[in-house]
Amino acid sequence: MELIKHLQWRYATKKFDTTKKVATDDLQKLKEAIQLSVSSYGLQLYKVLIIENPDIREQLKPVSWNQSQITDASHLFVFCNYTEAHSEAIDAFIKQTANTRQLDINRLNGYGDFIKEKLKEKTPEEITSWLKSQTYLALGNLLNACAELKIDACPMEGFEPEAYNRILRLNKQGLNAAVIAPIGYRHEDDHTIGLAKVRKPITQLFDVL
């Protein structure tokens, strides 16, 4: 299984080579991998910012615990969840489904109503948690795709979401920065290269009932 080999190769890169950039073709493949991510009900209530601009990244570095990956990586992915699950977004998804599959939209309206009713059952806190969780599903696809392409990545929660929201003007778009991932190529001086992975044994991690 090639995926296992790819996952064994990858690690959370601490130091990137500033001279190496991810090619446009590979970047497109990463976008497609994220696009194909699973999400609850298929809604994909998030947006992904790919930040290349060095000035913006310099602004983000201090609110990212001054971690060098923010400015040294080839690109910075910022996964942003929508802060509300608006009915309009569900209606748009139902319409897109009908158009894509060439179905009568009236056959799908019941499913749209079902989604709306299930979301109404959640508390505001549950909605916030649910929306943020969707971004991590997409992040997983990014990391796996990067590993296959031998592109390094470092998923990070070490940043100030409110500062990101302000600098990137996300609040005006109804978005919230949930998790980030610089990508690029490892520097040969990264002290974490080659360290053995520390993972629980399979016998501890799984129970079969």
Name the pairing type of β-strands 152-153 and 175-184. antiparallel
- pTM beyond 0.95, yes or no: yes
Interacting residues of 78 by C-beta distance below 8 A, sequence separation 6+: 48, 49, 50, 51, 164, 168, 177, 180
CA distance 27 to 36: 14
CA distance 149 to 22: 10
- The pLDDT averaged over each successive group of 10 residues in the chain (209 residues) is 96 98 98 98 98 98 98 98 97 98 97 98 98 98 98 98 98 98 98 96 97
Number of residues that make up the chain: 209
Comparing CA positions, the residue from 22, 28, 11 lying closest to residue 185 is 22
Going from the N-terminus, what domains does the chain have, and what CATH number goes with each? 2-86+124-205 (3.40.109.10)
**pLDDT for position 1:** 85
8 Å CB contact between 16 and 74: yes
**pLDDT for position 169:** 98
Comparing CA positions, the residue from 98, 166, 161, 108 lying closest to residue 135 is 161
DSSP state of 186: B
CA distances from 79 to 25, 62, 68, 198 (A): 21, 19, 19, 26
**pLDDT for position 134:** 98
8 Å CB contact between 137 and 158: no
* CA-only gyration radius of the chain, Å: 19
Comparing CA positions, the residue from 18, 16, 22 lying closest to residue 151 is 22
